[in-house]
Amino acid sequence: MSGSADKTFYLETFGCQMNAHDSEKVVGTLLQQGYRQVPSVEEAGLVLYNTCSIRDKAEQKVFNRLADYKKYRTQGKQFGVLGCVAQQEGEKIFERAPYVSLVCGSASYRNLPQMLVQLETGGQRVTGLDDRATDKCFETEYTARTNPHRGYITIIEGCDKFCAYCVVPYTRGKERSRTSSSVLEEARQLVDLGYTEIQLLGQNVNSYRDPDGKKSFAELLVAVASVAGIRRVRFTTSHPRDFGRDIVDVIDSVPALCDHVHLPVQSGSSRVLDAMQRLYTRDEYLERIGWIQAARRDISLTSDLIVGFPGETEREFEETLSLMDVVGYDSVFTFKYSPRPNTPALRLEDAIPDAEKARRLAILNDKQKQIGARRNRRHVGQVLEVMVEGKNPARGQWIGRTSQIKVMNFTVPAGVELTTGSYVQVRVTGSFPNSLVGEMAGV
């Protein structure tokens, strides 16, 4: 590729929203460096994978992709591994896949321009493996946004929580926040680009600490929601330990803040929460849920749950089930515990066999199906505002999301065409465990 006038790249992304948004910034950086994005590996001079290592399955996908690289190794293509697997495996990747010439963890993206120059001049083992020493955020002049309606803004990177099962503190480095003024400037840029919905991102979004000391997290939420042109503001992921009442207060008083909180609990057992090093008990978690449920707005609640953490007894698992009943989540993401390199939980005994984890997961998913069905039924008859996201031509229905982040499939009067990104009022006529159906009731 070096010396070629046409610098092309292909990028594939695995994992969470943080990764998806990092990729938007990586693409922006490459475009600024004179690269052109192409839709297939075949057409690309530089092939990049932005990887995820949160669970074993995610990591396995990356190594399967790396095995695919082999067939291209003679074509002069260059290969790069970015993201969490890059940080976790480091230079070992060069041993495992010698055709890879770039390994760059997410805490090092700000050095990408220099790394690209090294690659272009024939660099073989270009690395960016800053770890927890990094105290800078990845800010780009240009971000190649792929979601046309929801603009993502990272406000805090990294994690200092060190939950016993989690690789993130090792792969994404230490917690570092952006200044509130740079976040607000990006929000204004997004409005200029036509965005009306913003999602603030962070591994622990509510641990946000303005380096300039101007705004708390709740104040930042209000400030972003007050930017002229913004209609919806979301934020994810919140950690229960840092979840203050002030967040509920601002949701209650600022309509542009969406009525949804994602508050991962992981387990309903205080004993397991302690072993997980989650820094709160079941009761402390439920206290926060109480604040949210006491709000004037009907705030939807979602969570992440892990089954089969080492030593989790049947009774402790049942405590998770009972917590789900007490809270009544609108939806949950559920996971089987997956042992991860470097994490303290690796040293724990009493691993739960996979078949047992699978059994617990199935029970949990079944329970959520019932709870979700019940939670969604309450919307039937209501008129909700929906942001239009697209059309399902096969079913003649439009699809959008409510402020509570629920998927709504809805019909419109004959002859009406909607534009994606617009807002309409929809009367809910039916519900399922994971979605609502309705008919347009106005604009």
Binding footprint of ligand SF4 on the chain (CB under 6 A): 159, 161-163, 166, 168-169, 203-204, 239
Is 262 a residue that touches ligand 5AD (CB under 6 A)? no
Closest approach of ligand 5AD to the CB of residue 376, in Å: 23
Choose the one of ligand SF4, ligand 5AD, none that binds residue 338, judging by a C-beta under 5 to 8 angstroms depending on kind. Answer: ligand 5AD
Choose the one of ligand 5AD, ligand SF4, none that binds residue 169, judging by a C-beta under 5 to 8 angstroms depending on kind. Answer: ligand SF4
Is 304 a residue that touches ligand 5AD (CB under 6 A)? yes
Q: Which of 49, 109, 337, 410 binds ligand 5AD (CB under 6 A)?
A: 337
Which range, of 211-219, 285-293, 335-343, 405-413, touches ligand 5AD by CB under 6 A?
335-343
Strand partners, 151: 198
Closest approach of ligand 5AD to the CB of residue 419, in Å: 33
Closest approach of ligand 5AD to the CB of residue 266, in Å: 5
Task: Return the number of the residue (342 or 382) whose C-beta is nearest ligand SF4.
Answer: 342
Task: Return the number of the residue (101 or 171) whose C-beta is nearest ligand 5AD.
Answer: 171
Question: Cα separation of 257 and 247, whole Å?
Answer: 10
- Asked if 282 and 305 touch (Cβ cutoff 8 Å), the reply is no
Question: Restricting to residues 203-242, which ones interact with ligand 5AD according to CB under 6 A?
Answer: none
Provide the CB-side half-sphere exposure for 413 (13 A, CA).
5
Q: Which of 177, 207, 236, 338 binds ligand 5AD (CB under 6 A)?
A: 338
Give the three-state DSSP class for 31. Answer: helix
Is 172 a residue that touches ligand 5AD (CB under 6 A)? no
What contacts 298, CB < 8 A, 6 or more positions away?
259, 404
Is 151 a residue that touches ligand 5AD (CB under 6 A)? no
Choose the one of ligand 5AD, ligand SF4, none that binds residue 55, judging by a C-beta under 5 to 8 angstroms depending on kind. Answer: ligand 5AD
What contacts 50, CB < 8 A, 6 or more positions away?
11, 12, 13, 14, 15, 19, 22, 23, 26, 82, 83
Q: For residue 111, give Cα distances in angstroms to 18, 116, 232.
A: 18, 9, 33
Task: Return the number of the residue (241 or 427) whose C-beta is nearest ligand 5AD.
Answer: 241
Q: Which of 48, 220, 225, 306 binds ligand 5AD (CB under 6 A)?
A: 306
Rounded to 5°, angle at Cα 96 from 50 and 119: 55
Which range, of 146-154, 287-295, 334-342, 362-370, touches ligand 5AD by CB under 6 A?
334-342
Closest approach of ligand SF4 to the CB of residue 187, in Å: 24
Q: Which of 49, 165, 170, 195 binds ligand 5AD (CB under 6 A)?
A: 165
Task: Return the number of the residue (159 or 289) whose C-beta is nearest ligand SF4.
Answer: 159
Which range, of 71-79, 254-262, 337-345, 355-363, touches ligand 5AD by CB under 6 A?
337-345
Instruction: Please give the sequence-ordered ranges of beta strands (E in DSSP) within 203-354, or none if there are none.
Output: 232-236, 260-262, 300-307, 331-336
Task: Return the number of the residue (162 or 333) whose C-beta is nearest ligand SF4.
Answer: 162
Is 170 a residue that touches ligand 5AD (CB under 6 A)? no
Instruction: Please give the sequence-ordered ranges of beta strands (E in DSSP) within 112-231, or none if there are none.
Output: 126-128, 150-157, 176-177, 197-202
Phi (first) and psi of residue 64, to 5 degrees: -65, -40
Locus of tokens 């209501």: 382
Which helix (H) or strand (E) segment is 246 a member of?
Answer: helix 245-253
The backbone region for 85, taken as left when phi is positive above 0, alpha when psi lies in -120 to 50, beta otherwise, is alpha
Pairing label, strands 423-431, 435-442: antiparallel
Is 364 a residue that touches ligand 5AD (CB under 6 A)? no
| Closest by Cα among 151, 129, 128, 154 to 140 | 154
Question: Cα separation of 10 and 196, whole Å?
Answer: 29
Which residues are at the interface with ligand 5AD (CB under 6 A)? Answer: 54-55, 165-166, 264, 266, 304, 306, 335, 337-338, 340
